[in-house]
Structure 1
Amino acid sequence: MRIVEGDEHSDGAPTIEGTGIRVEDIAVAHEQSGYEPDEITQLYPDLSLADVHRALAYYFDHIDDFRTDTSETASA
């Protein structure tokens, strides 16, 4: 699966194609909740380990965008 963006996917949030699971959800599980990638596959059984790694790679490649979006949401 690949990462997709657009209004038809979770209101434009980067999403793992065909799942409706947002990259941000995977990143929060990993960074804030401390789950390892293999544990995330247990939280989201529709994802393979490769999907989780792909989502985390996308997140870290675009981390400034995610942090900007989060701070704009918090200040609104």
Structure 2
Amino acid sequence: MTIVRDEDVLGGEPRIDGTRVGVRHVAARVVDENRSPAHTADQFDLSLAEVYEALSYYYDNIEEIREFERANEAAFERLGDTALKPKEPVE
């Protein structure tokens, strides 16, 4: 078990090998949402060891993970600006 990167999976974000679960996703559940590591493991179908490995990577590389979070938020904002919106009602 290890943390890997692949530009073709999650845009190169660090993730748990053999999954599409990013370190950012695990940290969001445990750190930001205050979920237990055991609950997070259950929700993502991971072993508890994989969750702790992802958390270890997160704490060793917080700024890197936060940068991925900022980039992801910016991408969603750009999509929202270009998404189709309903026409204004005719009065």
Give the TM-score of the pair, scaled to structure 1. 0.85
* Count of aligned residue pairs for this structure pair: 75
Q: 2:3 aligns to what?
A: 3
Q: 1:63 aligns to what?
A: 62
Please say which of residues 29-38 and 52-61 is displaced more in the overlay: 29-38
CA distance in structure 1 between the partners assigned to 2:34 and 2:21 by the alignment? 18
Confirm or deny: 8 A CA contact 2:13 2:68 kept in the other structure.
no
Give the TM-score of the pair, scaled to structure 2. 0.72
Q: 1:10 to 1:70 in 2, by over 3 A?
A: closer
Give, as a single letter, the amino acid of the residue that structure 2 aligns with 1:31: V
Please say which of residues 63-72 and 8-17 is displaced more in the overlay: 63-72
Aligned residues with identical type, % of pairs: 32
Q: Whose RCO is larger (CA < 8 A, sep 6+)? A: 1
Higher radius of gyration, 1 or 2: 2
Structure 1: 5+ residue runs without aligned partners?
Answer: none
Shift of 1:74: 4.4
Shift of 1:8: 2.3
Per-residue CA deviations over 1:18-62 (Å, capped at 9, x if unaligned) read: 1111110000001111111111111112x1000000000001100
CA distance in structure 1 between the partners assigned to 2:63 and 2:44 by the alignment? 25
Q: 2:41 aligns to what?
A: 41
